[in-house]
Amino acid sequence: MPDELISSPGGVLAVLCAVAAFWFFVEQRSGWKLFQYVPPLLFIYATPVFLNNFGVIPSASPVYSGLSSFALPAFIVLMLIKVNVPAAVRIMGKGVLVMLMGTAGVVVGAVVSYVIVHRWLSEDAWQGVGALAGSWIGGTGNMAATSEMLGTSEEMFGLAVIADNVIYIIWLPILLASKNFADRFNRWTGVDEGRLQTMDSASAAVIQEERVPEMRDYIFLAAIAIGVTWIGSSLAAMLFEWTQTSLPALQGMLTQSTWRVLLITTIALSLSVTPVARLPNSTAMGTAMIYIFVAGMGARASIEGFAQAPAFLLGALIWIFIHGGFCLLGAKLFKVDVHSVAIASAANIGAAASAPIVAAFHRPSLVPVSILMALIGYALGNYLAPLAGHLARIAVGQ
């Protein structure tokens, strides 16, 4: 007899789905302000941690490997086919460059902060740094994908989730409060007076609402997600073998999982410029799968692994202000308004969950394009976040 109360794969998967559904139900029905500062993601990760450590569900199950093999590549595809770089550039203009500066700040901040705090962390902490870089470049999906590429332990993934949410509590109010300094900020950066009106007009002209999805749309999306997963996984096995023979120095970086995620990411991005991008509801489907995947990561974690949380949080705090410095530098260089800068930072740090909140507070007409900005970050995250993790590791000689 198994020691856990629920051990069958069907039961474990039901628990993970129920946990994600429960916290979103609580958020929806309660109206608690808590969820404005602590997103359901933290609770969705933490609840299975306790269920595992108190013997309700197992720490090892075929469900967890199944989520990595099938759910992860599927949500990468579903999210990335909606990336629309031309639309974001038409509306935000140089605001996209500020976002890219913020992304560069995330990569640089990862290295600098890890150099400062690594002595108080275990040797595999750079993998947690890479996972957090994934979240801060594009969102939770990137965090999950990067952890898969780097082989991040469940405990390090948990530290990344904790740091992500704690820093969010600090950073979101700063982004919102920046609206109060709009006039002085815009004078400092030298913003063109007509920029805001131009963005409003461009947003109204470009953004269109999705049509109501039909049954066949879901079949199309399933076929695309599964097909891209199969193609990417097959090519990854061949490229990994080639890496082992032709590029032995890169074996530690270009693992089969890394090849798989990078290939799936690239194929999905190529589909974003085809009629596939017009299929409705793919982002919602992908996001739902991400939360179930995160619950699965929590189910494998041990509470004992969180003893390094204070040092990891210190590094994350240093890191976020480096990102902020890069955003300010970008604003000055490209003469961009405070509203665009706040949205650009939120598109990195909070991704699609937070960018619309910041946009709605600063300038409601930019809510739709804030989601496009977040998806650009999502497109970059699977490439740059693993690089940030490896650069942090190399910087301290690990």
In this prediction, residues 173-189 reach a mean pLDDT of 90
In this prediction, residues 6-14 reach a mean pLDDT of 93
Of residues 183 and 329, which shows the higher confidence score? 329
In this prediction, residues 117-128 reach a mean pLDDT of 94
For residue 326, give the nearest of 60, 107, 80 by alpha carbon.
Answer: 107
For the chain, give the percent of residues with pLDDT over 70.
Answer: 97
Please determine, for residue 296, whether its predicted confidence score (pLDDT) is greater than 60. yes
Cα pseudo-dihedral 238, 256, 228, 157, rounded to 10: 180
In this prediction, residues 16-25 reach a mean pLDDT of 94
Provide the pLDDT for residue 254: 80
Please determine, for residue 259, whether its predicted confidence score (pLDDT) is greater than 50. yes
Please determine, for residue 1, whether its predicted confidence score (pLDDT) is greater than 50. no
pLDDT per residue as tens digits for the range 334-365: 999 999 999 999 999 988 778 888 888 888 88
Distance CA 119, CA 122 (A): 8
In this prediction, residues 297-310 reach a mean pLDDT of 81
Distance CA 204, CA 253 (A): 44
Give the pLDDT band of residue 106 (cuts 50, 70, 90): very high
Instruction: Give the side-chain half-sphere CA count within 13 A for 311.
Output: 18
Please determine, for residue 145, whether its predicted confidence score (pLDDT) is greater than 50. yes
The lowest-confidence range among 72-86, 183-197, 223-237, 311-325 is 183-197
Provide the pLDDT for residue 251: 67
In this prediction, residues 85-107 reach a mean pLDDT of 89
| Average confidence score pLDDT of the chain | 89
Instruction: Give the side-chain half-sphere CA count within 13 A for 393.
Output: 19
pLDDT per residue as tens digits for the range 107-121: 999 999 999 999 999
Provide the pLDDT for residue 13: 95
Give the pLDDT band of residue 34 (cuts 50, 70, 90): confident
Burial class of residue 295 (count of CB atoms within 10 Å of its CB; 0-12, 13-18, 19+): buried
Please determine, for residue 3, whether its predicted confidence score (pLDDT) is greater than 60. yes
Distance CA 209, CA 368 (A): 9
Burial class of residue 31 (count of CB atoms within 10 Å of its CB; 0-12, 13-18, 19+): exposed
Of residues 195 and 287, which shows the higher confidence score? 287
Distance CA 275, CA 312 (A): 43
